[in-house]
Amino acid sequence: MLEDHSHTYKRHRPEQTLLYQLVEHHYPEFLEQLSHKGKLLPKHVEKEFEEFLKCDRLEHGFLRLVCEDCKYEKLVAFSCKKRGFYPSCGARRMTESAKLLVDAVLNGYPIRQWVLSLPIPLRLLLAGYPKQLRKVMQIIHRTISTDIIHRAGYLKK
């Protein structure tokens, strides 16, 4: 009996995306232009581009999976598992990290997440002055820590 496997894993095809096509087409030219200027990309950036161009491509490695019941075969291409700019792998890494945090690290402990959003003009200003950004972040950390200590009842206001 032939089973329906259409609802199972469907391979990503990054080579069909605009992002992939742009990187594949322009990345070598970009490296050449940098080289003519006597410049290089940092090694980790080069590696990210190279891994991106190999990610989810069958010609760069794959697993052959076979259904034990019906002998249906499927090829699963290796992925880069990077956090770079390939959305599929970035989302997968983010999901795996969140699962690890919830299951193994946080282990049911109550937590509070704080989200800080600065006005865009202030972000731009602080981006140009990292020492001042550090001072601002220290003030924010101290304020949040003090609030938590007060709420826990360790210090009276």
pLDDT at residue 57 in the model: 83
According to the model, what pLDDT value does residue 86 have?
Answer: 64
Res 35: pLDDT: 92
- Spell out, as residue ranges, where the chain has pLDDT lower than 50: 1-2
Q: How far apart are CA 157 and CA 151, in angstroms?
A: 10
Helix (H/G/I), strand (E/B), else coil: 105: helix
Domain ranges of the chain: 1-109, 112-157
Q: In residues, how long is the chain? A: 157
End-to-end CA distance of the chain: 73
Q: What pLDDT shows up at residue 7? A: 57
pTM greater than the 0.85 cutoff: no
- Give backbone dihedrals phi and psi of 76, rounded to 5 degrees, phi first: -120, 115
- pLDDT tens digit string along 18-52? 888 998 999 999 999 999 999 988 888 888 888 88
